[in-house]
Structure 1
């Protein structure tokens, strides 16, 4: 994993085809270089297409650290945080969080058995939670296949692919990174709308 992260250092781990923010690292959220996990945290989630600033998250941090903005949000009202900046990734939370488990597969198995509809989606350009990993754990649930992998569409374009199991649907969003609604807002809306209305994703190219 250490070798993998040295390669991710050259690209955006949250969208492997997005432009990388090349702003001086000192301007980004603080990250320790002592561990592999912390090395990964310095990467920013970026917009994919030209016309968007790949360093947008820095601007968000600057905005949310303004006193007038914090006041309007009723954040840091006590004023006790004076020498610390709000950041997208919190080292203090990361460093003190130890509640981890080996796998959440049993939880998904229980949800499926209750009859709840479960959809799992991944942008196919996400390097943080790659679709191949999602496929492995979903297949490990051992659910019967209801329909094989097939494309779904938006505006006469293949938007991704999906497979239906008994009780669970796994789908991809073509060109999406870790934050699908950020990279592919129209596609994300179709996905969420289809789920909430209990409809299958559009499978006709029209």
Structure 2
């Protein structure tokens, strides 16, 4: 697994086809990126590079810088109550992850219970997600042993393939084409269509 993750270090594991953030790859690039973050809005469009499709791979870097500003933390009362001025906010906090031990061997029994309760369940995955890959989720769904309601087929948005969909008795599994781990971030229009269909009780369009 260490060898696998070493290879992943060269790409974004959360979106394997997206560009990787390079703000911290060299001091020059980092300086340029940090300068852009502190610039006023007047020259924002002139200085900042456009990213294809509107996706910016450095979004988490921007978020961390913002939430670690003293004025922002003060507005959330992060430091004032405990008098701690050394709190560093991180998108993924490994110290919390490593100490969190409230877990179960498998959540499949929970799905079984919810399905028996008659709840409508959709599971969705971006097909460019390397952290929780489509194939892994598919294995889990199939392990439930649910009767097949309708086989794999494409669903569409704006006459383009939005992803794939398969329906079981009690559960629907949907993939979003070209999306990574954070589907609404990578494919906001497709994500909105998916969520709207779920909430409205509509079927995703399977014809152009």
With normalisation by structure 2, the TM-score equals: 0.83
Q: Give CA-to-partner distance per residue, 1:80-112, whole Å, 9 cap, x none.
A: 331231111112211211222221111001111
CA distance in 2, matches of 1:55, 1:174: 21
Task: Structure 2: give runs of 5+ residues left out of the alignment.
Answer: 31-50
Pairing 1:43-82 to 2, within 5 Å after superposition: 49=52, 52-78=55-81, 80-82=83-85
Residue number among 84, 92, 95 corresponding to 2:95 in the alignment? 92
| 2:145 matches 1:142 | yes
Tell me what 1:42 maps to. none
| 2:105 matches 1:102 | yes
Structure 1 residue ranges, 4+ long, deviating more than 6 angstroms after superposition = 25-28
**Aligned with 2:52: secondary structure?**
coil
Pairwise CA RMSD: 2.1
Whether the 8 Å CA contact 2:55–2:186 is kept in 1: the answer is no
Task: Structure 1: give runs of 5+ residues left out of the alignment.
Answer: 29-47
**Structure 1 residue 22, shift from structure 2 partner:** 2.2
**Structure 1 residue 26, shift from structure 2 partner:** 11
Aligned length: 186
Whether the 8 Å CA contact 2:79–2:85 is kept in 1: the answer is no
Which structure shows the higher helix fraction?
2
| 2:18 matches 1:21 | no
Pairing 1:154-193 to 2, within 5 Å after superposition: 154-193=157-196
**Structure 1 residue 66, shift from structure 2 partner:** 1.2
When structure 1 is superposed on structure 2, of 107-116 and 67-76 the one drifting more is: 67-76
1:68–1:26 distance in 2 versus 1, CA, 3 Å = farther
